[in-house]
């Protein structure tokens, strides 16, 4: 099992190290071999030193790996001449066709809940964000924005049948998989089809794919109404599928409902590879201070193991992923996880150590 490892910038280094500690603990306790890491230098710091956003040959090495794990990339003080931040991970999405951006949103006991309604304790949904097209098409690999003149810039919103069909089929499969695990399995198409032809096309393709997936219950929501409903009644949703920019915004909103970005795990999956990262930024103001919440990175590691179980045909890797997820759940239940981010008294290393210990304890119980 070969993992392309990009720790990146700021707290990306801190949370990546924490996630690897937990991943290795879960692999050890399920009797799996340790991964081989191919560490690749990339990010704003590397750009500042070298003028490149990823080391020579880095993209090719990432392509040969079974999966890519990324800490965080970007530093607000280091930008391109046009004012945009250094973001090679956007190019990796484009190069590897990582169209399915999976953003789990789950409430944990004893973690902050921003909504007063007691039903907020049961929030458990996934925002599925198309990650290569939409409005981000302009920002990815080739800077496709059109500078008309000094007074106007135009960005392209691109929706293609090929990518959107794959996204929607992934969404139906994901909703079905979740229903089999006990959730409602309802799939909601989130768009702005009443205004934009591109997003009417997005919905049209959804309906075409729906015709072959009639066992999955569906609903529709315009993105502005969806933002409202994520505050009013997020517990009524299970899987949301949406355009790139909409998914970017909605997933951050939803992350705020369950504690913050320190809980925001992310998988970006294509036909041949997957990239896994916490959805938060690099937070350079707390870099190296043992203050970052590593749980988003740790939960992203569980997503990676589950992905690799299918890709490599090794079901035991899903067992390792389950150990991590269960250990985070019980860690919160028993008030053993108290991140600084939530006003607690635990830093990056202590949280990683605690989850790894819970992994060991759960596996020992399971083995008896």
∠86-103-98 over CA atoms, to 5°? 60
Give the span between the Cα atoms of 18 and 355, in whole angstroms. 10
Q: Which two tokens stand for residue 201?
A: 């096309």
- Region class of 290: left (phi > 0), else alpha (psi between -120 and 50), else beta: left
Q: What is the pLDDT of residue 143?
A: 58
Whether the pLDDT of residue 356 is over 70: the answer is: yes
Q: Same domain, yes or no, for 247 and 353?
A: no
- Of residues 367 and 269, which shows the higher confidence score? 269
**Are 290 and 345 in contact, with CB atoms under 8 Å apart?**
no
The verdict on 137 and 251 lying in the same domain is: yes
Residue 264, domain member (yes or no): no
- Domain span at 70: 1-101+271-368
Assess whether 33 and 82 both reside in one domain: yes
The verdict on 121 and 221 lying in the same domain is yes
> Among 230, 257, 284, where does a domain finish?
257
* Residue pLDDT, tens place only, 89-121: 889 999 999 999 999 999 999 999 889 999 999
**In 3D, which of 2, 7, 233, 51 has the Cα closest to residue 125?**
233
Say if 358 falls within a structural domain: yes
Q: What per-residue confidence (pLDDT) applies to 144?
A: 60
Please tell me the distance from the alpha carbon of residue 206 to that of residue 262, in angstroms, as a whole number: 32
Does 156 reside within a domain? yes
Is 265 among the domain residues?
no
Measuring CA to CA, which residue among 103, 79, 72, 61 is closest to residue 9? 72
Domain termination residue (choose one: 257, 283, 302):
257
Higher pLDDT, 215 or 84: 215
Examine the domain organization and report whether 145 and 251 are in the same domain: yes
Residue 241 inside a domain? The answer is: yes
Q: For residue 367, is pLDDT > 90?
A: no
Joined together, the tokens standing for residue 100 give 């399915």
pLDDT beyond 70 at 280: yes
Look at the block and give the residue holding tokens 């896994």. 276
Token code pair at residue 226: 């969806």
Q: Which of 224, 257, 290 is the last residue of a domain?
A: 257
Residue 149, pLDDT above cutoff 80: no
107, part of any domain: no
Summarize pLDDT for 226-260 with one digit per residue, the tens. Answer: 999 999 999 999 999 999 999 999 999 999 999 99
Residue 365, pLDDT > 70, answer: no
Same domain, 118 and 238: yes
141 & 244 share domain: yes
- Indicate if 139 and 227 belong to the same structural domain: yes
Whether 46 has a pLDDT exceeding 70, the answer reads: yes
Residues 120 and 95 in one domain: no
Give this prediction's pTM.
0.93
Per-residue pLDDT, 364: 45
Task: Classify residue 162: in a domain, yes or no.
Answer: yes
Q: Please tell me whether residues 95 and 134 are part of one structural domain.
A: no
Give the tens place of pLDDT for each residue, 302-317. Answer: 999 999 999 999 999 9
Q: What is the mean pLDDT of residues 352-368?
A: 75
CB contact set of 308 (below 8 Å; sequence gap of 6+): 1, 66, 67, 314, 317
The chain-wide mean pLDDT, for the chain, equals: 93
On whether residue 263 sits in a domain, the answer given is no
User: Looking at residue 251, which CATH number applies to its domain?
Assistant: 3.40.718.10
Say whether pLDDT at 324 is over 90: yes
Q: Which residue has the higher pLDDT, 85 or 56?
A: 56
Is residue 231 domain-shared with residue 130, that is, in the same domain?
yes
Q: Do residues 327 and 362 lie in contact, with contact meaning Cβ atoms separated by under 8 Å?
A: yes
* Domains identified in the chain, total number: 2
**Is 134 found in the same domain as 81?**
no
């Amino acid at each position: 099992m070969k993992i392309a490892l990009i720790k990146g910038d700021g707290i990306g280094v801190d949370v990546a190290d924490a996630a690897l500690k937990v991943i290795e603990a879960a692999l050890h306790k399920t009797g799996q071999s340790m991964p081989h890491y191919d560490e690749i230098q990339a990010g704003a710091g590397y750009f500042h030193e070298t003028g490149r956003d990823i080391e020579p040959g880095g993209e090719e090495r990432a392509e040969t790996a079974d999966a890519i794990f990324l800490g965080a990339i970007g530093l607000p003080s280091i930008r391109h001449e046009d004012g945009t931040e250094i973001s090679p991970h956007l190019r990796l999405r484009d190069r590897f066709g990582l169209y399915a951006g999976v953003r789990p949103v789950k409430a944990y006991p004893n973690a902050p809940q921003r909504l007063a309604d007691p039903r907020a304790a049961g929030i458990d949904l996934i925002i599925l964000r198309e990650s290569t097209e939409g409005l981000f098409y302009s920002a990815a690999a080739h800077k496709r924005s059109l500078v008309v003149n000094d007074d106007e810039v135009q960005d392209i919103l691109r929706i293609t049948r090929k990518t959107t069909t794959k996204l929607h089929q992934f969404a139906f499969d994901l909703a079905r998989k979740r229903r089999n695990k006990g959730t409602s399995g309802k799939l909601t198409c989130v768009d702005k089809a009443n205004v934009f032809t591109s997003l009417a096309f997005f919905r049209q393709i959804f309906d075409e794919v729906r015709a072959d997936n009639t066992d999955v219950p569906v609903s529709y929501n315009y993105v502005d109404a969806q933002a409202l409903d994520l505050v009013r009644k997020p517990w009524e949703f299970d899987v949301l599928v949406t355009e790139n920019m909409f998914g970017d915004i909605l997933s951050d909103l939803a992350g705020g409902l369950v504690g913050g970005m320190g809980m925001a795990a992310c998988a970006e999956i294509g036909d041949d590879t997957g990239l896994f990262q916490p959805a938060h930024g690099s937070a350079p103001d707390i870099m190296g201070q043992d203050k970052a919440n590593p749980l988003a990175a740790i939960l992203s590691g569980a997503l990676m193991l589950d992905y690799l179980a299918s890709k490599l045909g090794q079901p035991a890797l899903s067992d390792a992923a389950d150990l991590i997820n269960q250990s985070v759940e019980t860690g919160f239940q028993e008030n053993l996880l108290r991140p600084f981010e939530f006003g607690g008294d635990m830093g990056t290393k202590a949280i990683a150590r605690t989850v790894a210990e819970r992994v060991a304890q759960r596996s020992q119980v399971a083995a008896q």
